Amino acid sequence: MNHKRIIIAGGSGFIGRALARELYLRHYEVVILTRTPRTRTSDIREVEWDGRNPGNWERELDGAHAIINLTGKNIDCPHNAANLRAITDSRVNSVRALAAACACVATPPRVWVQASAVGFYGDTSDRACDEHAPAGSNALASICRQWEDALTEATLPRTRKITLRIGMVLGRGGGAFPVLSELTRWYLGGAVGEGRQYISWIHLSDLVRMFVLCVERENFSATANAVTPNPVTNAEFMRELRGALKRPWSPPAPRFVVKLGARLLGTEPSLALISQRCVPGIFLELEFPWRYPKLRPALENICVTP
């Protein structure tokens, strides 16, 4: 153990579990802040917090090397007024709670890596957006702006700040891949809607390495798109997924079918229908070494990995 402590708020989810394992293997002391702590057999500790209020969890921040904040209600739900409010509150309140705790401890963390999303840009159509592109105008873009503003407004003079706008994360343990792969296995892997909407994606292992880079690269502070340099259209994505799973052509799902299916599944159809074509300008400048810059190898890796 190198005695550098890293706090992962909201670290019990899909991304957090993978990140915690990687940091532990790199000999960091890892502490997960979660609503439902579990007894673990490893040296990764879980500490209870509610993402909002002060508590015993605050002492973990004193002398910590880094905070990584992944907290937020899953957006895979109907985007009615109540759910949008809960999605916003879970994100903004967690940032404010962590910032207030940092302001109170004797030795605040040296770096804060904050999750955001490419939803910041709204529906980009076929326009490629790097980190200089303006915010979008839809509901998720508004949530992302408030989420990022909460960190920007926090007065943390001894803590460098990094925000990662994360695209669709591909991995077996969560996110969109399990659902899409199951549909494709049942020969329902056709293009969604017109199929021309872009997907900005990243393999889970590359995203984890981006977080590690942010923690370990001294003096690095930025807002960066955490995606590959190769966004694809929905039609291309589904074609590559069918190829990886060895399934034939499947009929497309028209918009009305997508909307009906979303209602039956209790999710939000716009998540599949809007276009987000994003460019990782910052990580390209850093010459980040993607392991999976192209979609087909990424999907094949996920499909064959036990």
pLDDT value at position 39? 65
Nearest to 65 by CA among 204, 286, 214: 214
Comparing CA positions, the residue from 71, 73, 70 lying closest to residue 51 is 71
Cβ atoms of 126 and 277 closer than 8 Å: yes
pLDDT in tens, 77-123: 999 999 999 999 999 999 999 999 999 999 999 999 999 999 999 99
Q: What is the predicted pLDDT for the residue at 137?
A: 94
User: Which CA distances in Å does 201 have to 9, 103, 118, 192?
Assistant: 23, 35, 10, 16
Specify the pTM: 0.95
Which residues make Cβ contacts (< 8 Å) with residue 77, sequence separation at least 6?
A: 83, 266, 267, 268
Q: Please report the sign of the dihedral spanned by the C-alpha atoms of residue 200, residue 304, residue 43, residue 1.
A: negative
Tens of pLDDT, residues 56-83: 999 999 999 999 999 999 999 999 999 9
With cut-offs at 50, 70 and 90, classify the pLDDT of residue 41.
Answer: low
Q: CA torsion 73→75→81→86, rounded to 10°?
A: 10
| H or E, element range at 96 | helix 81-104
Per the structure block, which two tokens stand in for 42?
């490893």
Q: How many percent of the chain have pLDDT more than 70? A: 97
Class of domain 5-235+264-304: alpha beta
**Dihedrals phi, psi of 263, to nearest 5 degrees:** -65, -40
> In this predicted model, what pLDDT tens digit does every residue of 214-266 receive, in sequence order?
999 999 999 999 999 999 999 999 999 999 999 988 889 888 888 888 888 88
Which of 35-44, 150-159, 271-280 has the weakest average pLDDT?
35-44
